[in-house]
Structure 1
Amino acid sequence: MRVSLPVSIVLLASTTVLSAEDDRPNFILCMADDQGWGDVGYYGHPVLQTPVLDEMAAAGLRLDRFYAAHPVCSPTRGSVMTGRNPNRFACFSWGHTLRPEEVTVAEALRDAGYATGHFGKWHLGSVRAEDPVSPGGSGFDEWMSTPNFYENSPLFSHRGTVVETEGESSAVTVEAALEFIRSCQEKDQPFLAVIWFGNPHTPHEALPELRALYPDATKAEQNYYGEITGIDRAMGLLRSELQQLGVSENTLLWYTSDNGPQGKSPGSSGGLRGAKASLWEGGIRVPTIIEWPARITAPRVSDVPGFTSDIYPTLLELAGASVEHQPTLDGESLVPLIDGVMSERNHPMGFWVYDRKGISTPAAKLMQQLKDEQDGKIPAGEPPALTPAARMEVEFNPEDRPGHACWIDGPWKLHRILNESGDADYRLYNLDKDVLEESDISDDHPERVRRMQDELDAWQRSVIRSLNGEDY
């Protein structure tokens, strides 16, 4: 595989003076695109081959109740970047963006002396250098990114300049990240590397050698399973190189997915109800593993609930970083969970699919257009405008709360679903006893429903206040 970089990777100097021996951990955040909770061998998939992920799950911290903060891609990615529910900054659905006013994990860690790099799918803005919500505008010094999902030999934007790559989609992405990691290791500088794969999102185009691993499967299954095995092999390449560089011991490697499987794909939710775009368990519960040999010294499995909004506060605590004017967070630090001293979550988790349409972001077309501009074939373009909501030109009513929402507190999950007349119906499930969410027990627990309903309503009003710009 080959990644063609027109210029060498340059790590920008931080205003923070580093000590001669900076022993803070490195961070690598890996995220698959539409990989379901059941799309791994370690949960018993009968066909899928994921030996590296299986090894990680057996050696590290396996999180069995980890959730995407939203059941589609851009909002979940926004939650990773900010530690906040994506509706707070108008990232309502796929193709919506960050707000420039948000504080990202890359900005916070860069200010604390970390080198920061993004590789692969972005989907929180364009990948034009001048865009305030590009990876570069969002705190990443180094980036090889594309605006949405991508297939093999993709065009990437290297800090705004289009470069060609050659090879399997996930492997090319990891190889780009490894160049950055090697540069950080040479400078003895701690780093944040965000690796967001483009698979197994449609259209599913696995290499022949990966399809051949599944001779008895249908063509659709061969491509889908092959793409996930491609991710698995790329994770193997990443872990092997970290070991060779001597940085694996003190590197926190966090693997997860952005949402559940697409409903019409061969993807698996592991039998859970629902799929991508749904707040039922199958739409938001995702496979998640944390490896950090220096701190997670023995394998563990946890059923403490967590979600992607927790990543930001966890990394900031571990790095000793702080943000002077921190907007309201929805996530909480999972450092106690990493250290094995957390038996339950401190705060409930809110989820909300605000009723807004997605925005088309055809990566291949957009990258070819940017390349043609840079080759002088067509006039230079501009980054797409932010939505009126992202520009805070729309005032949202805290009493108008459209869409499906839910509130998770320990084993209890309360759904708020609008009926045909626009009124809210509430359904309660005990996930310890009914993980498939088949039996609504709200009538049996009226006091619990009232308390959770009040908490959910208060949280949604808080989200609307943020959406209206009160956090900035």
Structure 2
Amino acid sequence: MRNRRVFIAVTGVVFALVSTGASFAAKAERSGKPNIILVMADDQGWGDTSYNGHPFVKTPELDAMAKDAFVFDRFYAGAPVCSPTRASVMTGRNPNRTKVTNHGRYMRPHEQTIAETLKAAGYVTGIFGKVHLGSGQPDSPCNPSGMGFDEWVIGLNFFDNDPYLSRMGKIEHRKGKGSVILMDDTLEFLEKHKDGEQPIFTVVWFPSPHDPHAEVPEGPSLYKGKPHAGYYREITLLDQQVGRLRRALRNMNIAENTIVWYCSDNGGLVKETSGGREKKGSIYEGGLRVPGIIEWPARKLKGRTSVPVATFDIYPTLLSLAGVELYAPHPLDGMDVSGIITGSVTKRSKPMGFWHQLQRGQGTRSDQIQKAIMEKQQAGAPLPHDSVRMRKDVDEFPQFPEETTTGHAAWNDWPWKLHRIKGTKFELYNLSDDPMEKTDLSKNPEQAQRVKQMQQELDAWMRSVIRSINGKDYQESK
């Protein structure tokens, strides 16, 4: 965790965040501490794998991983679009709290990230691929260095073939398939540090299978004549790269004590295989339910659970598994689910809140932006986008009214899920009996007390989220 003191003036009130180094966790020794690798697809739905029963898509590497490891049958993205879910992974919090309310929003540097916590505990940290949480410029507080990463090669958003990527702030025009290049960079990082004194934390965020689906996998042409063929070809390409990673870990002799956690950033692009109602962009199950697998050979994690787990659980869970003290200066929405993974816990103890469309998304054309920066860098000219991209969403603390209910929220207290749509419309579903959310029970007299209780819980949670986005979490403790 970097040393920093940030003051923000908001409507006459001064907020402060004070970070004083690694006092909350002792430096980790290499022996005993697992390496940690987080792998995330971009737009892969729960049903878009062979191991979850897709009728034709080929994912042999994920199938092998699922067979060898522990599978979450009901794994949830923190939001139904990309940037917010990534913020939930980084912080263990609902992304609205971090001001990542939709795609293209920057994560405030005031947040405590998993990379900062692990770095303070002795890990070397790296991130590769699509970040979509901030800047790729070297002096921005919102670049990966500001999030706690020692090394990084990133796109600002999704990318396909021949991408423009930022390596520690210097833009490179790379040739080849974006997802393959991403894995090349990841393996280079792992090879560089595998024999070092520090355990390794690596984030691998694929740009596929996001459209326009220009990448194709190795081997013969697949899925010709099938619907959404390009989408599924990119899933198979991604699958091949996951296989490369797992083989490389074995070849480097570090697989045994390496945790690999695989998931997607939101629901898929095809309703029929999304694993629920609707697809990407929706708070219904199809927009949130995604593949989820975790493996750690040294602990022999194996099996499958239908207990709900979400991306905001990753932070507290990994720290627990790695034996690193949890540092959480701000309210967490996630929980330690290591007991669910090891089989000692069979029920989730903390409901899950979701909230989409509090604000609109913002477009981020990764290649276009990074190409313009590269040309300025090569010419020795002032960089573009300074005022727009360097500190976006950092210095602004707009004060949302605490009663704000814009958009679509949901409260998942398994198996019950209550929706709140545009503030006033409510729907209730029993996901165990009705996984496709077809039968609204909110008007059923037998559920009147349940609806009232869940409305109160959801509303209280939404009010806490508004207080967070308004900056209350960053006030200096007195």
How far apart are 1:90 and its partner, in Å? 1.3
TM-score w.r.t. the length of structure 2 is 0.89
Pick closer, same or farther for the CA change 1:140–1:148 going to 2, 3 Å.
same
Q: Which one of 68, 73, 87 corresponds to residue 78 of structure 1?
A: 87
User: What code does the residue aligned with 2:34 have?
Assistant: P
Aligned equivalent of 1:309: 312
Aligned equivalent of 1:9: none
Q: Would the aligned equivalents of 2:271 and 2:286 in 1 still touch at CA under 8 Å?
A: no
In the TM superposition, what whole-angstrom CA distance separates every residue of 1:5-60 from its partner, at most 9, and x where no partner exists?
xxxxxxxx999875665211111101111111111111111111100011111221
Separation in 2 of the partners of 1:348 and 1:81? Answer: 20
User: What code does the residue aligned with 2:230 have?
Assistant: N
2:370 counterpart of 1:343: no
The DSSP-based 3-state class of the residue aligned with 1:186 is coil
Q: Which one of 267, 279, 290 corresponds to residue 260 of structure 1?
A: 267
TM-score w.r.t. the length of structure 1 is 0.91
Pick closer, same or farther for the CA change 1:330–1:14 going to 2, 3 Å.
closer
2:332 counterpart of 1:329: yes
Separation in 1 of the partners of 2:26 and 2:326? Answer: 17
The DSSP-based 3-state class of the residue aligned with 1:43 is coil
1:62-461 pair list within 5 angstroms: 62-207=71-216, 209=218, 212-217=221-226, 221-262=228-269, 268-270=272-274, 272-297=276-301, 299-322=302-325, 326-376=329-379, 379-381=382-384, 382=386, 384-385=388-389, 390-418=394-422, 424-444=424-444, 445-461=447-463
User: What code does the residue aligned with 1:122 have?
Assistant: V
How far apart are 1:385 and its partner, in Å? 4.9
2:60 counterpart of 1:57: no
How far apart are 1:387 and its partner, in Å? 7.9
How far apart are 1:174 and its partner, in Å? 1.2
Q: Would the aligned equivalents of 2:400 and 2:470 in 1 still touch at CA under 8 Å?
A: yes
User: What code does the residue aligned with 1:405 have?
Assistant: A
How far apart are 1:384 and its partner, in Å? 2.8
The DSSP-based 3-state class of the residue aligned with 1:442 is coil
Aligned equivalent of 1:471: 473
Separation in 2 of the partners of 1:439 and 1:208? Answer: 41
Q: Would the aligned equivalents of 2:141 and 2:391 in 1 still touch at CA under 8 Å?
A: no
Q: Would the aligned equivalents of 1:224 and 1:267 in 2 still touch at CA under 8 Å?
A: no
Separation in 1 of the partners of 2:99 and 2:314? Answer: 20
Equivalent residues, number: 450
Q: Would the aligned equivalents of 1:110 and 1:139 in 2 still touch at CA under 8 Å?
A: yes
Q: Would the aligned equivalents of 1:36 and 1:268 in 2 still touch at CA under 8 Å?
A: no
Separation in 1 of the partners of 2:316 and 2:414? Answer: 20
Pick closer, same or farther for the CA change 1:204–1:402 going to 2, 3 Å.
same
Q: Once the two structures are aligned, what percentage of the paired residues are identical?
A: 45
* TM-align CA RMSD: 2.2
Pick closer, same or farther for the CA change 1:313–1:17 going to 2, 3 Å.
closer
Q: Would the aligned equivalents of 1:415 and 1:427 in 2 still touch at CA under 8 Å?
A: yes
Aligned equivalent of 2:15: none
The DSSP-based 3-state class of the residue aligned with 1:452 is helix
User: What code does the residue aligned with 2:277 have?
Assistant: R
How far apart are 1:447 and its partner, in Å? 0.9
Pick closer, same or farther for the CA change 1:292–1:267 going to 2, 3 Å.
farther
**Runs of 5+ consecutive residues of structure 1 not aligned to the other structure:** 1-12
Separation in 2 of the partners of 1:14 and 1:323? Answer: 12
Q: Would the aligned equivalents of 1:27 and 1:253 in 2 still touch at CA under 8 Å?
A: yes
Pick closer, same or farther for the CA change 1:138–1:283 going to 2, 3 Å.
same
Separation in 2 of the partners of 1:463 and 1:409? Answer: 18
Q: Would the aligned equivalents of 1:95 and 1:123 in 2 still touch at CA under 8 Å?
A: yes
